[in-house]
Copies of this chain bind each other. A is one copy, B any other.
Amino acid sequence: MSYASKLLYTYPRTFNVDARVLTATVDDLKDCAQACTADADDDLSEPDVAELVMCIRLCLDCADICTTTVGVTSRQTEYDANVTRPLLQVCMATCKSAGDECERHAMMHEHCRVCAEACRHCERACQEVLNAIM
């Protein structure tokens, strides 16, 4: 069991969403943030870096937004739906943008293929939490 799970199960108050769904999403968000940071760096190491500028930029955005979403969704105390919901939607948007662009380079660069997979995965996970909190 991941620390995210363990900590959600020891939370002292009642929960706002299904703990299993939330836990899985927090783990996917962390993975996607790191994958995007690593992929942007991989792109910088490629001889054709000039072709990968859009990929780098979108991955930097996606990494920042996923990291922030880990923070906000890890906080259960005084949960604020007015912020959490639209933030999950932004997170889906950035995962879609980064995922689409990574996919365009997936044939040329294995790291972009892996990163696209992490983005798609995270996008679906955010949708699942959104469904659970609606």
Whether A70 contacts B110 by the Cβ 8 Å rule is no
Given A7-B42, A41-B76, A45-B76, the answer on whether A71 and B64 have CB atoms closer than 8 Å is yes
Of the four ranges (under 10, 10 to 19, 20 to 34, 35 or more), the interface on chain A belongs to: 35 or more
User: Which of chain B's residues have a CB closer than 8 A to the CB of A109?
Assistant: 10, 12
Query: Residue A126 at the B interface, CB < 8 A?
Result: no
Please, which residue of chain B has its CB at the minimum distance from the CB of A76? Answer: B41
User: Which of chain B's residues have a CB closer than 8 A to the CB of A111?
Assistant: 7, 10-12
Q: How far is B7's CA from A35's CA once the two chains are assembled, in angstroms?
A: 7
A contact set with B: CB distance below 8 Å? 2-4, 6-8, 10-13, 26, 30-35, 37-39, 41-42, 44-47, 49-50, 53-54, 56-58, 60-61, 63-65, 67-68, 70-72, 74-78, 80, 82-83, 86-87, 89-90, 93-94, 96-97, 109-111, 114-115, 117-118
